[in-house]
Amino acid sequence: MQLDCRQSETAKAYVKQGIVQQEKGQLEAAVSSYREALRYCGGREDATLDRLLIYNNLGCALTSLGKYDEAMAAYLEVSRIDPDYPPLYNNLGQFWLRQGELDRAISAYRRSLQLDPQRVLTAYNLGKALQKQGRHAEAVACFQKVLQLKPDGVQIFDECGLEFLEAGKFSEAAIYLQAAISRQPDWVEAYCQNMAQLVPSNDLDRARAASGQLLRSLQKQDIRGFERYLVEIYTHLGRVYFQSGLYDRALQTYQKAGASKIPQLQPDWQACQLQQQRVQHLIAGGKVPAALPQGVYLSARGWGDRSSTDRPLPPNSTYPLCEGLHCHPCWQRIAEGWGLTEIEAGIYTYENSQPREELPPDLFTVTIPEGRAWIMPQENWWRVCEAVAIVTPDNYLLGDVSREYPGQLPGCQKCDPTRHRIFRQESLPPLERLEGTVAVIAGLSANVYFHWMVDILPRLEILRREGWKWEQIDRFVVNQCRQPFQKETLKRLGIPESKIIESDRHPHVRADRLIVPSFPGDLGMPSPWVLDFLRQTFLPETSLAKPSADRIYISRSKAGYRRLLGEAEVISCLQGFGFVSVALEELSLDEQIHLFRNAKTIVGAHGSGFTNIIFCQPGTQIVEFVSPHYFRHYFGAISQQLGLQHYYLVGRSFRCDPLRHLMYINPLIEDLAIDLDALQKILEKLGIVKSGIPMTQTTVPPRQRENIMPPLVHPEQTADHYQQRAEALLAQGKPDDAIAACQEALRSDPRSAATCKTLGNIWRAKKDLQQARNWYLKAIEFNPNYAEAYANLGNLAAGQQDWKLAIAYFQKAIALKPDFAGAYQHLSKVWQKIGRELESTDCLYRAYELEPQGVKPEALVNLGNR
């Protein structure tokens, strides 16, 4: 009897261990624990319930691992013990759902609810399965039942809202979505404030700005406003998808907007239908346009070696099977291999402190006489380079030196170069001829500091190792060389600016002799040799005689996306423990390297700034904030190789999926918020915060805090500074740069009337008069006595020959500012246009009287002759 009790306790211990492992995603370990628990259950009569639970959990873990035969065997054991066990049929539903057997899944869920009608989880799962079949009315009924059983279920408001959105019943959707956002007012407020500062310059930005207005309309229970902004969002997102070549998704989005019933949207909708039909015809016909490759060599050296047994493969214009960097199972496999472990709720680190063992990458350089390269250009901040294709003179794509987004992860077996997106192009840009020897080192997302450093620059080192000297190469093709870090690094590596060709401006080139180095490794996953190269190249050169900080916080306040909401509160707490907030965009490359080289603790949200941990000393503590929907291991992999202590803190995202997908087109750009209690737990583990002392209670004496900010950190610039900079950039003929400066000004002061007026001037220069008018009116909203804004509105009205309105605006400007010579001068011209010579002369006299300097003698003569 005593032995049975011991076995029972051992079995329960293994079950508890298995549950913990399963919750942490350690599925293989959980399976082992459950099997051990079964072994200790033995044949005891009172072990029936234990075995029921163990087999049920074992089936779940095996299902998640994709071991369906073993999972079914476990579920059959459950059925043998108790055929009317309700959780069994819920789990069988999940089993069939994962294999795409929706009908079987729905039957299993229904059986579970027959046995226990109060099962909230099963009712929810049934609703989701019906949702996948497009049975929206039945799905809504399930979700409403869940709300009856669990009225505080926020996620159910989401699901009901989504169902009504899909059905085109916007007013019904608004009711549920209002309930969903009412639970998170702080998030909504922060997001809306960010969007109010956004200066839209493309369709994605316009969709984001409209999403802020949509949330405001929900808060105000303005159903008409909600419907109007929803249609606006769908319209802009449809254009985004169309421009990205995602014609199916664009059509679906236009349909949600009701394009067939809205006359102004029909041209967009019809153009999308036509383009989709052309692509489908191209795929079905199997004909490859003349400029596209006729096939694929998987290996560049296989093409170059005529004695090789490699043979070309035919092209495939269908979409790739591999999800690349978005592949959740691959990331999960990699994370398990590296020992990623959840040590507290939402806090992760790596159990394996040693760098992973891997085969060194196969590095080489291929020379292609009369070779050509097609490199997709960056079009805006969200449409970056997503494909590189290297093509031989006999028109074959070389698979191992070509690449496309979303790339592939280590160990992926689904990557198929025959499905490269070049084969889905109807045509390519005009081909440009480059004389001499041309090296191609361009790559994906090279506008991003991280990818530039770990994917682009190492290709120059491969060229060097292969014996190439820079004087032997006439041109180097890079994506772009406009950003300071691009110019600084190329200069450091000895590449003359005169030899640089930007593929963003020359996307399709042929060279007498094309030199292409291999990629340095998997996309965004630097090998040890890459880290050594970067450290040896840039660390010795950095010898700044400047103070630094032991603890730094990387701010994303100037980033256009993935902002940390509530950042000011986080910074305030961290500063009490000696942290310095830095905006890396304002530092030179050497200053950034110097900062990270000397830091002992680095905290911040996931972003390119963490690239600089490459230059950290072993033992440096890294705390990376990540979104639950965008958890990448790039920087953790670097930390493992360099002996850094790396922690992830998973933040909070916006908890309303239907709206979240409208607010953020991609998880990559999602904002996040951080729980300060969770941050405190990490800092306690690092020995920075004493256990039990709230972070809001600073432990640094006031006099010490005054000296924490080192002089290398640039002071926060004022709105006036950025606004004046924008005016200067506009005068230099750089309107897009001027818009960026205005965005910075509005981040500093969202109600800066001067900045709004400058934006009006910019859009007027860009010939977008409606945008210009809107910004002048916004300036007046913030400053009702802004004479210059009224005068600018007068100029717009005069340009459209609305003389009455122009006179009213100029007179208002003069009433507010009686010494406004410019307003008198422009009003004089309007009076003259409508034949009112006396009034025109009076205004011009007044203008010359106010500003006599600079008036030419002939102007005075002309005035006297009136």
| CATH number reported for the structural domain that contains residue 107 in this entry | 1.25.40.10
Here the tokens at position 35 are 């099997």
Band the pLDDT of 711: cuts 50, 70, 90.
very low
| Closest to 576 (Cα-Cα) out of 774, 726, 708, 412 | 708
Residue 265 has pLDDT above 60, yes or no: yes
Question: How confident is the model over 651-677, as a mean pLDDT?
Answer: 92
- C-alpha to C-alpha distance for 348 and 99, rounded to whole angstroms: 30
Domain identity same for 782 and 851? yes
pLDDT (tens digit, 9 = 90+) per residue, 182-194? 888 988 999 999 8
Contact 813, 794 (CB under 8 A): yes
Host domain of residue 130: 2-223
- C-alpha to C-alpha distance for 778 and 638, rounded to whole angstroms: 47
| CATH number reported for the structural domain that contains residue 563 in this entry | 3.40.50
Domain identity same for 511 and 568? no
Q: Which residues of 621-660 are buried (b: 16+ CB within 10 A; e: fewer)?
A: bbbbbbbebbbbbbbbbbbbbbebbbbbbbbbbbbbbbbb
Looking at 706, 732, 762, which one is the last position of a domain?
706
Question: What CA–CA distances, in Å, run from 99 to 27, 92, 93, 103, 104?
Answer: 18, 11, 10, 11, 10
Residue 143 domain-assigned?
Answer: yes
Residue 697 has pLDDT above 50, yes or no: no
Question: What CA–CA distances, in Å, run from 746 to 508, 566, 723?
Answer: 39, 17, 9
Residues 6+ apart with CB under 8 A from 159: 124, 127, 128, 131, 139, 143
The helix, strand and coil proportions of the chain, stated in percent and rounded to the nearest 5, come to: 55, 10, 35
Domain identity same for 727 and 852? yes
* pLDDT of the residue at 704: 33
717 three-state secondary structure: coil
Residue 301 domain-assigned?
Answer: no
| Closest to 586 (Cα-Cα) out of 546, 554, 547 | 554
pLDDT (tens digit, 9 = 90+) per residue, 745-754? 887 777 888 9
pLDDT (tens digit, 9 = 90+) per residue, 542-570? 565 566 789 999 999 888 889 999 899 99
Residue 504 domain-assigned?
Answer: yes
Residue 639 domain-assigned?
Answer: yes
Q: Could you give phi then psi for residue 818, rounded to 5 degrees?
A: -60, -20
Q: What is the mean pLDDT of the chain?
A: 85
Looking at 177, 194, 223, which one is the last position of a domain?
223
Domain identity same for 61 and 175? yes
Residue 543 domain-assigned?
Answer: yes
Domain identity same for 670 and 757? no
Contact 722, 755 (CB under 8 A): yes
Question: What CA–CA distances, in Å, run from 106 to 83, 140, 143, 523, 732?
Answer: 18, 15, 14, 40, 65
Residue 304 domain-assigned?
Answer: no
Residue 637 domain-assigned?
Answer: yes
* pLDDT of the residue at 541: 62
pLDDT (tens digit, 9 = 90+) per residue, 106-158? 999 999 999 999 988 899 899 889 988 888 888 888 888 888 887 766 677 88
Total structural domains within the chain: 4
Helix ranges, 670-768 (H): 676-685, 702-706, 719-731, 735-748, 753-765
Domain identity same for 732 and 700? no
Domain identity same for 510 and 551? no
DSSP-derived letter for residue 456 is: I
Looking at 657, 685, 706, which one is the last position of a domain?
706
Cα angle 600, 603, 604; round to 5: 150
Domain identity same for 745 and 683? no
Domain identity same for 521 and 553? no
Domain identity same for 616 and 498? no
Domain identity same for 517 and 557? no
Residue 291 domain-assigned?
Answer: no
DSSP, residue by residue, 364-399:
-EEEEET-EEEEPPP-SSSS---EEEEE-TTSEEEG
| Closest to 387 (Cα-Cα) out of 432, 411, 419 | 419
Residues 6+ apart with CB under 8 A from 563: 194, 556, 557, 605, 671
* pLDDT of the residue at 350: 87
Which of residues 288 and 639 earns the better pLDDT score? 639
Domain identity same for 738 and 810? yes
Predicted model pTM: 0.74
